[in-house]
Structure formats: C-alpha cells, structure tokens
Structure 1
Amino acid sequence: MDHSLAATTPGANPHARPPLTGPRDPGDAWVEGVHGKFWGRFGAAGVLAYDPGKGVLLQHRALWSHNGGTWGLPGGALHQDEDAITGALREAHEEAAVPATDVSVLFTTVLDVGYWSYTTVVVQVIRPFDPVISDPESLELSWVPVPEVHGKELHPGFARSWPALRPRLLGLSSERVQ
C-alpha cells in the first residue's frame, strides 16, 4: 500500500492514519454482513512466518489501524483475482519485507464467513532474514518464541486462531518448534 511517510516521522500522531498518496486497489474496502465488518472486498490473507531459531514473526499494529496496538500477522486485503498465498506473501513483503523466495509454505487455514474469508499462510523460513517496517501499518516487528506468543496482546482474530495454529505448527516437528 502506498502511504505517506508522515506517520513514521518523529512527532507524528500515531493515532492518525497516514494519507494515501497513490491509487487504491479495488479490494481495499470494508465488507459487512451478519458476522460483522471485515477488511478486504475480495477477502484477506496473512503470513505466519516461523523461523526455528527465532520463533514466529509478529507485527505490532499501528494505533490508527483496526484493532490497533495489538499483535498480529503481516497481511491484508487480497486484490481481485489474486489467490490467497500470493496475496499473503505480497502483503507480508509490503509490510515487513518478508522475502517470498526465502520462505516455504507449510500449510494454510481459512476462516470463511460466507461473504468474506481470511487465509493464514504458514511458512517456514528457509533463509534467515530480518524483517523491516516498510510501511506505516506497523509499530514494531518482532520474532517471538512460540511459547511467548500467548503473552502478547493479540489481534482478536489471531487470538482466536492461535490455539489451533500452534499445535499444527508443533506437530510438524518437535525439533523445529519449542
């Protein structure tokens, strides 16, 4: 997403959403229905990156964002006709500089409420990298050891999905995840 850097400069209001400076994708919109309001006209997706030596990569969400101040996954709205894996990797690169060539997809999970869906793309890091805050949607990016994830103030959607994601990640290999 193309934003002004104003929100990342010292003294900027962390609660103010930065102005958009470029064209928006048609997928960047809210959808509403009986199950609530969700971001992403064509659905949304995010990356749960796992590095055996560091843990999982979490994003501390900007205060101006929906559920701002919580920890979640780099991700966002899918573009029209974009598959969830491609979209999740694109968003993770835009928000945290996650290099798609340095991760391997392990599995995906989907929350589908009928008129909207969110796909969590779980990847394993195959070449270590340092995440970089590359847009104003993050306050912080951090590798969090798996046992410490539940101690963070998690984004409500991620908090609901983590109890099911963790054992799947743990089940892949007891040597890979502590």
Structure 2
Amino acid sequence: MARGANGDGWVSCGQGHRHWGRYGAAGLLLVAEDRLLLAHRIFWSHHGNTWGIPGGARDELETAVEAALREAVEETGLDPAAPVVGNVSTDDHGGWSYATVHATLDEPVPLTPQDGEASELRWVPLAQVGDLDLHPGFATFWAERLTWPGGSRPQ
C-alpha cells in the first residue's frame, strides 16, 4: 500500500467550502449487530463536540478503503483485518470528496479513543443515531443518502 504525500491540510472545494484533506477524506461506517460505531469529536476539532464516524484525510496515493481503515485503526485501535468491507459512497464537492466506506463486524468490540481526536467511542443502535448531535456532513449523509436493507431505515 503506497501512501504518497501526507494529506493533512485544508483545501477549498468547487462549492467554496473549506475541507480537511488535501487529497480528500474517508471514513469507516462500521456496523455490528444493528449498532454503528461513532466517535465524539474532541472539542477543538472542526465541528467539535459532534458525533461522526472515524475517518480523516486521505494521503496522496491511498484508496478510500485504505484511508478509512488506517484512520479507524489510528483513532480506535480497531484490528484492520476485522471489518468486512462493502461498498463506498462518495460525496463529491468538485475538487474534493469524502468517501464513506461501509463495513461490518460480527459483533461490537470494545474500543477506546487512541489519538486524541475523539473523547468517546460508542456503539449506537441504528435507530438512535439521528438522536445525537451529528457532524453536519455525516448528518446529511445519514438523513438523505444511506440506503437501508429492505429499502427502509430506522425512524
């Protein structure tokens, strides 16, 4: 796995927004037993004190899957071989994109924040995710783009 240049840094997209990740960003949407792994973002981070999925800046030569797994390992201590990776959803902003890597585990595993970017990690029942104060980008994804098995989603 070649990573290329470090992707840390702010960029502006074609829509005029400011984003973290010179080569885009990726996150791991990890589900186990109808629970989603969420990280409570540390107060000083961009959109701090909100909940989102583990993720961050992609390095120059990384695929979305490589970046999402690397970030999840760095942030949670997750065994990178444990998740079963599925499809990837991409939110393209024109010159910058966020890739959500869908993955599953057989059961939730105990995880603790590893790198100071999250104050808490929590396995949240899918039906309760929308009750939390979500990172704005993830809130939009959760409300509008996520397709649930059987064509429905928890209310």
User: Letter of the aligned partner of 1:129 in structure 2?
Assistant: V
Choose the corresponding residue for 2:100, options 109, 120, 126: 120
Unaligned ranges ≥5, structure 1: 1-24
Q: Deviations over 1:58-83 (max 9, x none)?
A: 00000000000000010000111100
Question: Cα gap change, 1:133/1:172 in structure 2, threshold over 3 Å: closer, same or farther?
Answer: farther
The offset of 1:165, in angstroms, is 4.7
The offset of 1:129, in angstroms, is 2.0
Residue 32 of structure 1 corresponds to 12
Choose the corresponding residue for 1:50, options 21, 25, 31: 31
Q: What CA distance in whole angstroms lies between the structure 2 residues aligned with 1:164 and 1:61?
A: 22
Q: Deviations over 1:33-67 (max 9, x none)?
A: 442000000000000100016x0000000000000
Q: What CA distance in whole angstroms lies between the structure 1 residues aligned with 2:131 and 2:152?
A: 23
State whether structure 2 residue 137 is matched by structure 1 residue 143.
no
Q: SS of 2:68's equivalent? A: helix
RMSD between aligned residues: 2.1
Q: What CA distance in whole angstroms lies between the structure 1 residues aligned with 2:30 and 2:135?
A: 16
Question: Cα gap change, 1:40/1:144 in structure 2, threshold over 3 Å: closer, same or farther?
Answer: same
Q: SS of 1:142's equivalent? A: strand
How many equivalent residue pairs? 150
TM-score by length of 2: 0.88
Q: Percent identity?
A: 42
Q: What CA distance in whole angstroms lies between the structure 1 residues aligned with 2:151 and 2:102?
A: 11
Query: Between Structure 1 and Structure 2, whose CA radius of gyration is higher?
Result: 1
Q: Which ranges of 4 or more aligned residues in structure 1 deviate by more than 4 Å?
A: none
Q: SS of 1:102's equivalent? A: coil
The offset of 1:170, in angstroms, is 3.1
Residue 69 of structure 2 corresponds to 89
Q: What CA distance in whole angstroms lies between the structure 2 residues aligned with 1:170 and 1:143?
A: 19
Residue 41 of structure 1 corresponds to 22
Q: What CA distance in whole angstroms lies between the structure 1 residues aligned with 2:127 and 2:48?
A: 23
Which structure exhibits the higher relative contact order, with contacts defined as CA atoms closer than 8 Å and separated by 6 or more residues?
Answer: 2
Asked if the contact 1:103/1:127 (under 8 Å) is kept, the reply is no
User: Letter of the aligned partner of 1:31 in structure 2?
Assistant: V
User: Letter of the aligned partner of 2:59 in structure 1?
Assistant: H
